[in-house]
Amino acid sequence: MENNKSFFGTQGILIALLGLTGTFSIALMILFKTNTSDAQSQSNSVKDITANVVTQQRLEKFKTEMLTSWQQEAQAKGFATDVPSNFQGAVIKEAKLPAGKKVIALTFDDGPWPNSTAQVLDILKKNNIKGTFFVVGQNVKNYPDLTKRVVTDGHTIANHTWHHWYHHMNAQAAAYEVANTTDIIYKTTGVKTSLFRPPGGIMSNGVAAYAKSNKYAVIMWSADSIDYSRPGVPKLINNIFRGARPGGIVLMHDGGGDRAHTVKALPEIISRFRNQGYEFVTVPELLEMQNQYSQVVAQKSKKP
Ligand SMILES: [Zn+2]
């Protein structure tokens, strides 16, 4: 019995030891497993980063290829079909015209936009006026029918970048903003524009520089309605007429936000200009007028 006892006693210790070892090894296994899975997830995240870098590199390569093909396509189509060659790459705030030539260009930015663009188009049609619309590429994509109507109503359509960004852009981003917008305007309307207006009139963030070096005429303005700040109809009208003069370019917005004030003010703006003896022209018409005038001036100065 004593032997048995001791046997059982020894066995008991052994079982206990085995049990302990078992527990220990399970604990070890858990630890090891945790470590392994940590290591695995670590190596996975390394793989993820590598994959991301590769994907980014592929995307960059794809973007560069896309840009090259757009640029080639644009070159094949021929830049600047609707702008006299001496305005390619130029920055224009207003036209220099002979004294007494009372013309003015109404321009509308940031569209096409639901409701307000159609309302502006209705007012212009009713008054038999052609304007110039600087459209945002992503809006052209979202509202192709409105974009087409701008062109079929006889207005000039022009480039106002894809995203309407203000921040600094490297050459590739600037190229995307400008070329992609010209491309979607062309695909939507068949018009190949060579007129560009930088968002916010910003000349220093890379996008205007790209447009200039690619022979766009950069169109600024001489009379700002400041309608984006929704100043109310009377102030909006006063803002325009404070800066209005013959050969001028008027800045308004048909898109990018609530343009109810602009829509409401437009009939009065038109009738006031008409009462002052103004005629309305598009930006290309304005440039053509200045071009002809400067040729006349140049010829006169050549004569002995
Ligand atoms: Zn704008």
Indicate the SS3 state at residue 250.
strand
pLDDT digits (tens, 9 = 90+) for 53-90: 556 566 555 555 554 454 445 444 444 456 888 899 99
**pLDDT given at position 84:** 82
State the DSSP code for 277. Answer: T
The distance between the two most distant Cα atoms of the chain, rounded to a whole number of Å, is 143
Domains and CATH numbers, the chain: 90-302 (3.20.20.370)
Q: In angstroms, what is the span from residue 112 Cα to ligand 1's centroid?
A: 11
For residue 119, the Cα-to-chain-centroid distance in whole angstroms is 23
**pLDDT given at position 83:** 80
Q: In angstroms, what is the span from residue 196 Cα to ligand 1's centroid?
A: 11
pLDDT digits (tens, 9 = 90+) for 244-272: 999 999 999 999 999 999 999 999 999 99
**pLDDT given at position 34:** 39
164 is catalytic: no
Q: In angstroms, what is the span from residue 250 Cα to ligand 1's centroid?
A: 13
| pLDDT per 10-residue tile (average), the chain, 304 residues | 42 44 45 41 49 59 51 46 83 93 97 98 98 98 98 97 97 97 97 97 97 97 97 97 96 97 98 98 95 86 69
Cβ distance 124 to 280 under 8 Å?
no
Q: Please name the amino acid found at residue 54.
A: V
**pLDDT given at position 40:** 43
**pLDDT given at position 59:** 56
Indicate the SS3 state at residue 35.
helix
Catalytic residue, candidates 155, 164, 253, 261: 253
